[in-house]
Amino acid sequence: MDRAEKIGLGVATAGHVLLFGLLSAGFLSTPNPLKLNSPPMDVSLVDEVALKSMAPQLSTQPPPPSVAPEKGPTEDAAPAPEPEPQPIPEPEPVPAPPPPKPVPPKPVAKPAPPKPAPAPPKKDVPKATPRPKPAPEKPAAPAKPAPAKPKPAAAAPARSAQKPAAKPKADAPARASGQGKAEKPKGSLLGKDFLKGIDTEADAPRKAAPPPAAAMGPAQKAALDAEIRRQLKPHWRPPSGADADQLVTLLEVRLDKSGNVIGAPQVIDQLGVTASNRPQAQLHAERAIQAVKLASPFRNLPAEFYDQWKWLRPLRFDARLNR
């Protein structure tokens, strides 16, 4: 090893020590651009997806308009002289004086075209208001009712006739209003007249608007099934025998709101019937029905989901039920 090599060795050693020292001290260090610590992620466990929405339904229709305030502001009706004193007996005076003129012609006019029979009353009866009603009811015998009616009509102004009469009136004023008798019908027909602008036909569907009853979620359904099964279990004694554990009886059971069975459970179907367990099949079904009857009334069923358990179909009885 000559001098040059000694120098070379010394320089190389010094250079390596220097280089690695600098590298160790962070020379040329690049700050880690990728922060590898990934922050924890929020994971929420959601329920099994149901096909039906379980949220209460919001009614898209506006609430039905209150009728009372509309009737109140009838200023036209207020001046009406006679009927005002008693609000309730209002209808009474109406039928008595006016009927002869406006009412008979109209109701009679309708039945007249289709049936010749009512025609005679038309001439005879200027007196009887209720006549038109009975007349269409019994087209076969117009003559008999005619005499009968006049008496009640005369004696008791409209007490008995009032209700039958109310209907014809409802129709009548619409046409009758055109005739000079506007004031008196107005008093009695106030409600209908003033509701003209309101869609009265829409009232019925509004009242029947879907209640906010919830559909059951899968978890609730499972809980309900488990509850029913739990209550059936002590009363369920399946027959034993060859292959009897393969038998499955499907029942249809109706329950009332307190959990009592309505009527007798019906066997919908029996599954798993083989040649070897056929003798037990009938017994199996009977035991199933017996179990339902013994378990009745069912307790602890949620009343708000009555729709879901009022008709249990199919109610399954098999070997698993008593496991």
Partner 1 sequence: MPEVGAAVGAAAANATISPLALFLQADIVVKVVMLGLLLASIWTWAMIIGFSFTLRKASKQSAAFERDFWKAEDIDRFYEARGKAEFPAARVMAAGVTEWRRSTAQKVIDREGTRDRLSTTMSSTIGAEVDRLSDRLNILATIGSVAPFVGLFGTVWGIMRAFTAIAAEQNSSLAVVAPGIAEALFATAIGLFAAIPAVIAYNRFSHGINRMESGLTRFADGFYSTLSRELEAQR
Task: Report the interface residues with partner 1, using CB under 8 A.
Answer: 2, 4-13, 15-16, 20, 23-26, 29-32, 36-37
Beta strands per DSSP E along 140-296 = 248-255, 261-271
In the bound state with partner 1, the residue whose beta carbon lies nearer, of 30 and 60, is: 30
Which two three-digit tokens encode residue 148? 């009968």
In the bound state with partner 1, the residue whose beta carbon lies nearer, of 24 and 44, is: 24
In the bound state with partner 1, the residue whose beta carbon lies nearer, of 30 and 86, is: 30
Q: Quickly tell me which residue has 């590898």 as its tokens.
A: 36
Between CA 169 and CA 99 the distance in angstroms is 9
In the bound state with partner 1, the residue whose beta carbon lies nearer, of 17 and 264, is: 17
- What does residue 273 show for φ and ψ, rounded to 5 degrees? -80, 125
Which two three-digit tokens encode residue 169? 């009136």
Helices (H) and strands (E) in the chain, counts: 14, 3
In the bound state with partner 1, the residue whose beta carbon lies nearer, of 11 and 271, is: 11
* Angle in degrees, CA 290, 293, 297, rounded to 5: 155
Beta partners for 249? Answer: 270, 317
Residue 28 CB, nearest approach to partner 1 (Å)? 9
Residue 18 CB, nearest approach to partner 1 (Å)? 12
Give the torsion sign (CA, 126, 129, 132, 138).
negative
> How many other C-beta atoms can be found within 10 angstroms of the C-beta atom of residue 116?
10
Residue 21 CB, nearest approach to partner 1 (Å)? 8
Residue 33 CB, nearest approach to partner 1 (Å)? 11
Which two three-digit tokens encode residue 276? 């070897």
Residue 247 CB, nearest approach to partner 1 (Å)? 49
Beta partners for 270? Answer: 249
In the bound state with partner 1, the residue whose beta carbon lies nearer, of 10 and 56, is: 10
Residue 58 CB, nearest approach to partner 1 (Å)? 48
